[in-house]
Structure 1
Amino acid sequence: MILREQGVVVAVARDGRHRFGKPTTTAIRLVPGLGVEGDAHAGATVQHRSRVRRDPTEPNLRQVHLIHAELHDELVASGFEVEPGQMGENVTTRGLDLLSLPRGTRLHLGGCILEVTGLRNPCSQLDDFRPGLMKAVLDRDEHGRLVRKAGVMAVVVEGGEVRPGDPIDVELPAGHHLPLQPV
């Protein structure tokens, strides 16, 4: 079942080099099975340097990184200067609770389809960017379980171009919904 216009694309970003932040741009092209054209993390197998060192043959479940603009709002209210792309995301969204989506959710945006694979596991590079940011994107729920707020990762199912202003429709997976885990 597709839920219509649940969110909107606020910004898109890519970088051909392995750096923490990514500059925003007017559009990105998504390539099925690979990720964002021209981005250092695009590829069928893992591209994040730490994961390549462990096993370069693992499938790339982190082709596209999405962060909700509401997290940026929360961080700015806490005194951090953060703008779209600066935390390494390719797509900044608004109006969509990315963290509560089940694994396998399909996001329809700009004529493309992304499949959510899991949570981004925040790393210490956040503190290199803004001291204290790592702690700010981690929280605890009412049961004391760790909550990772640094966005979600996805793979490209159907490619095309994505631009700021594109609506995002949500297609929940059939059957039992599995919660997101770090990938």
Structure 2
Amino acid sequence: MGGKITAVSSNGTYSFTKPNRESVRLLAGLGVEGDVHAGVTVKHRFRMERDPSVINLRQVHLIHEELFDELRDAGFAVAAGELGENVTTRGIDLLGLPTGALLRLGDEAVVEITGLRNPCAQIDGFRKGLLKQVVGRGTGTGVTHKSGVMSVVREGGVVRPGDPIAIELPDGPHQPLRIV
């Protein structure tokens, strides 16, 4: 099981989108070097207002590039970094991974999947109607969240587009992803 990185993005200021980079450096226990969401404690503005001492389970945001294909088919042009993700992947079912799955990004970096991203209403400010495309009803009664997964950095290193991704699943039983 594996895939590849198609883009890496970061931004040192709060902004909905993040510019693509040639590479980013992941820092163990912190996140993407120079990114506004890096840190031991939560850096999401809404979450900081509620309790700034909460552990940051959202250090690195990953989105599967296949989502952009699906959105394009629905009439929405979205490119890597535009939904605020740090790492864009292809060839991995990110949403199907269990909590605690490890992803080796390139030769050095390892992130641990902590949960699903819950997109906020700002996404409709970026593209009207986009929120309904990434959050909706699944085939059952539950809500589906398609806007990627969140992770923490277990081992640091430089990550680049084209780097391979290897997956290590945790011992079972596996816990499904929940919003973090």
Whether the TM-score (by the shorter chain) exceeds 0.5 is yes
Deviation at 1:144, TM superposition (A): 2.1
Q: Find the counterpart in structure 2 of residue 45 from structure 1.
A: 41
Matched letter for residue 30 of structure 1: L
Percent identity between matched residues is 58
Deviation at 1:107, TM superposition (A): 0.2
Q: Find the counterpart in structure 1 of residue 117 from structure 2.
A: 120
Does 2:169 correspond to 1:172?
yes
Q: Report the TM-score when normalising by structure 2.
A: 0.98
Deviation at 1:44, TM superposition (A): 0.2
Does 2:86 correspond to 1:95?
no
Q: Find the counterpart in structure 2 of residue 144 from structure 1.
A: 141
Determine the C-alpha separation between the residues in 2 that align with 1:169 and 1:34. 21
Determine the C-alpha separation between the residues in 1 that align with 2:20 and 2:163. 15
Does 2:11 correspond to 1:15?
yes
- Unaligned runs of 5+ residues in structure 2 are none
Q: Find the counterpart in structure 2 of residue 76 from structure 1.
A: 72
Deviations 1:3-27 (A, max 9, x none): 4xx1100000000001000000100
Deviations 1:29-52 (A, max 9, x none): 000000000000000000000000
Query: How many residue pairs get matched?
Result: 179
Matching of residues 25-64 of structure 1 within 5 Å? 25-64=21-60
Q: CA RMSD in A?
A: 0.7
Name which of structure 1's ranges 72-81 and 89-98 shifts more when overlaid on structure 2. Answer: 72-81
- Unaligned runs of 5+ residues in structure 1 are none
Determine the C-alpha separation between the residues in 2 that align with 1:92 and 1:176. 28
Deviation at 1:140, TM superposition (A): 2.0
Deviations 1:116-173 (A, max 9, x none): 0000001101000000000010132221210000000000000000000000000000
Matched letter for residue 19 of structure 2: P
Moved over 3 A (4+): none
Choose from 109, 128, 132 the match for 1:131: 128
Determine the C-alpha separation between the residues in 2 that align with 1:95 and 1:181. 22
Q: Report the TM-score when normalising by structure 1.
A: 0.96
